[in-house]
Amino acid sequence: MSRHISKPAVAALAAAAALLTACSSTSSSSSATNTAAADTSSSAATSASSSAASMSDSSSASTGASSGGASDGTVPDAVKAAGGTSIVPGPYAAGIEAQYGPVCKGSDLGIPKIDFSKDKIGWAQSEKEANPFRIASTKSQVDEAKKRGITLLTTNAQSDAGKENSDIKGMIDQGAKAIIFSPINSTGLGDAIAYAKSKHVAMIPVDRNITGVAGCQQVGPQLGSDFVLQGKRAADAMIAATGGNAKLAILLGATGVNVTDDRTKGFLDELKAKNASGITVVAQQTADFTREKGQSVMESLLQAHPEINAVYAENDEMALGALVALQDANKAGVKNTHIVSIDGTKGAVQAIIDGNIDAVIESNPAYGPAAEDALKAYVNGDGYPAVTITVDAGYLNVDQAKAGIANGSAY
């Protein structure tokens, strides 16, 4: 992708880092990216474009879904699992849905301050960069490091938890003072986390959370979307598309990942909350967040359940794979089979325009600016909240899809 990935919702998180600081007191061989630019102490927040802002507002208003949390004075279960225990009071800066304490300080784990003009930082990607979400998330990290003059080591685990453990440990051995990483799963990186802790290296998870941890005691600040809310919004979009009556197949994401669990829970809970008993889930099967498995699983499900006329795909890649299977079966097009998915990639958003997908709920991949700001506050400042939830937009109709393609918010 040639354009700079800096979406309004996440770019604005740079402003939040400053606010919170004030309020709280290489594949297997890593490649280094060196730049001569001076270290910028914090990134300036960019103004949200009116089209993206209106898209986010309209999608939130139209679904009416809420996963609880800061809006109703409770800490969601998904946040508790990631170590969040208390609400950081708002109002929040643009781009932030909610934040939860405790406030993490690197010094509490013996992590020294970092000289961002000299010290190395690691970026560990979890999956191959054939998926547009992964392309965009890595580009965001690399671009932000270049902007700030940071030496960045990069690795890609290629969907292998063992490799991600060794990748992270390898970057630490190469001198990385902090690791920003997208976990391949929520519980399988204990080896790398323990190694980083023993070496007093900061660990900043983005996108997927590390779960089953006490806040700030194993990893530093975690940044991600509200995946339960994404599932709820997808359910509302499915109800709207089907009129509340459908024979539904769910393409589940990878097992052992909080994203899959949360998107499934949010979707099913919302169907129940909205009394959408006319939507019958006839099949659920894992397709591992990949296009290839989305197609093969959908082919099998159509053979076993020819009555299927709606699909909830827990990411766009699976949705696009399922669409191929539906085309082969002459069941493509929203007049034949309704599809709702999550991510916000160009292919899926274009499919709304083409009449093949009903709605796409965004999951924003551009955590580069937010992660660097959180890291700086964590190691060099007054700390940063244990869990930050970012705002996601959505594409619920053709007009919003056309706007997303035109303004570049669809990645």
**Does residue 372 surpass a pLDDT of 70?**
yes
- pLDDT at position 92 is 86
What are the structure tokens assigned to 271, written together? 């169907």
- pLDDT at position 130 is 86
Q: Please check whether the domain covering 8-225+365-391 is classified as CATH 3.30.360.10.
A: no
User: Mean pLDDT for the chain?
Assistant: 86
pLDDT digit string (tens) for 234-270?
A: 999 999 999 999 999 999 999 988 899 999 999 999 9
What are the structure tokens assigned to 124, written together? 């560990």
What are the structure tokens assigned to 145, written together? 């490091």
| Domain residue ranges of the chain, discontinuous segments joined by + | 8-225+365-391, 227-362
Q: Please check whether the domain covering 227-362 is classified as CATH 3.40.50.2300.
A: yes
Q: Could you give the CA distance from residue 100 to residue 386 in angstroms, rounded to a whole number? A: 6
Q: What percent of the chain has pLDDT over 90?
A: 78
- pLDDT at position 13 is 40
Q: Could you give the CA distance from residue 342 to residue 396 in angstroms, rounded to a whole number? A: 11
Question: Residue 386: is it exposed, middle or buried by C-beta count within 10 angstroms (0-12/13-18/19+)?
Answer: buried
Least confident of 14-23, 46-55, 218-227: 46-55
Least confident of 19-28, 104-113, 332-341, 376-385: 19-28
* Mean per-residue pLDDT, 178-203: 96
- pLDDT at position 57 is 38
Q: What is the pLDDT confidence band of residue 11, given thresholds at 50, 70 and 90?
A: very low
How many CB atoms within 10 Å of residue 44?
A: 10
pLDDT digit string (tens) for 194-232?
A: 999 999 999 999 999 999 999 999 999 999 999 999 999
Would 8-225+365-391 and 227-362 be classified into the same CATH topology? Answer: yes
Q: Could you give the CA distance from residue 226 to residue 362 in angstroms, rounded to a whole number? A: 11
- pLDDT at position 173 is 98
Q: Could you give the CA distance from residue 216 to residue 107 in angstroms, rounded to a whole number? A: 11
Residue at 95: amino acid letter: G
Is residue 230 within 8 Å of residue 212, measured between CB atoms? no
Q: What percent of the chain has pLDDT over 70?
A: 83
**Does residue 23 surpass a pLDDT of 90?**
no
Q: Could you give the CA distance from residue 164 to residue 191 in angstroms, rounded to a whole number? A: 10
**Does residue 280 surpass a pLDDT of 60?**
yes
Q: Of 182, 191, 74, whose CA–CA distance to 122 is shortest?
A: 182
